């Protein structure tokens, strides 16, 4: 019988998640479009690697293992990627000055809820996932200070995906 250190499992899972997010190119011209792309990558990771996602974010335990502060820090580290896009959106005047750490956590809560609902079969139902993702990210951007029109234009690429 082989045993696997749960910390190693979490480290590998977060590395894979971070790699997926880093595949999204920085968009200096439109950091809100970059944020849309990051949100799409988040969703795709949750759906294509559901077991890994469940272990990382509490939907599935590892033999009774309870993550501690150090383990959660691994997850928070992943937030640096979307946090960078949020910082660029603030610098570009698309988002108003705010606590970027709070904004990225609000976005994370939104994405996690959507991913869990879709992963467990509650979404999309009669609506496609883009109807949820597009509107949720657009509304997040508007709430952060972007205009409805600019946020909609930044997310328009999802129509073609």
Give the Cα separation of 156 and 150 in Å (integer): 10
Q: Check residue 99 and give its pLDDT.
A: 93
* Domains of the chain and CATH, by start: 6-155 (1.10.357.10)
The token pair that represents 67 in the structure block: 């993550």
Q: Check residue 58 and give its pLDDT.
A: 67
Given a contact cutoff of 8 angstroms between Cβ atoms, the answer to whether 114 and 43 are in contact is yes
- Decide if pLDDT at 2 tops 60: no
User: pLDDT, tens digit, for every residue of 99-143?
Assistant: 999 999 999 999 999 988 888 888 877 777 777 888 999 999 999
> CA torsion angle for 93, 97, 103, 107 (degrees, to 10)?
-20
């Amino acid at each position: 019988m082989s045993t696997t250190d749960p910390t190693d499992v979490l480290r590998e899972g977060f590395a894979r998640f971070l790699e997926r997010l880093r595949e999204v190119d920085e968009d200096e011209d439109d950091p809100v479009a970059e944020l849309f792309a990051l949100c799409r990558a988040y969703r795709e990771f949750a759906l294509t690697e559901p077991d890994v996602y469940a272990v990382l974010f509490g939907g599935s335990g590892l033999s009774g293992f309870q993550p501690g502060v150090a383990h959660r820090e691994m997850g928070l580290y992943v937030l640096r990627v979307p946090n960078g896009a949020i910082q660029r959106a603030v610098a570009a005047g698309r988002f108003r000055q705010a606590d970027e750490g709070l904004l990225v956590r609000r976005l994370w809560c939104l994405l996690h809820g959507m991913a869990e609902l879709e992963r467990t079969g509650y979404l999309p139902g009669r609506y496609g996932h883009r109807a949820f993702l597009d509107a949720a990210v657009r509304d997040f951007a508007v709430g952060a200070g972007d205009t409805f029109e600019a946020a909609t234009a930044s997310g328009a690429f999802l129509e073609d995906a």
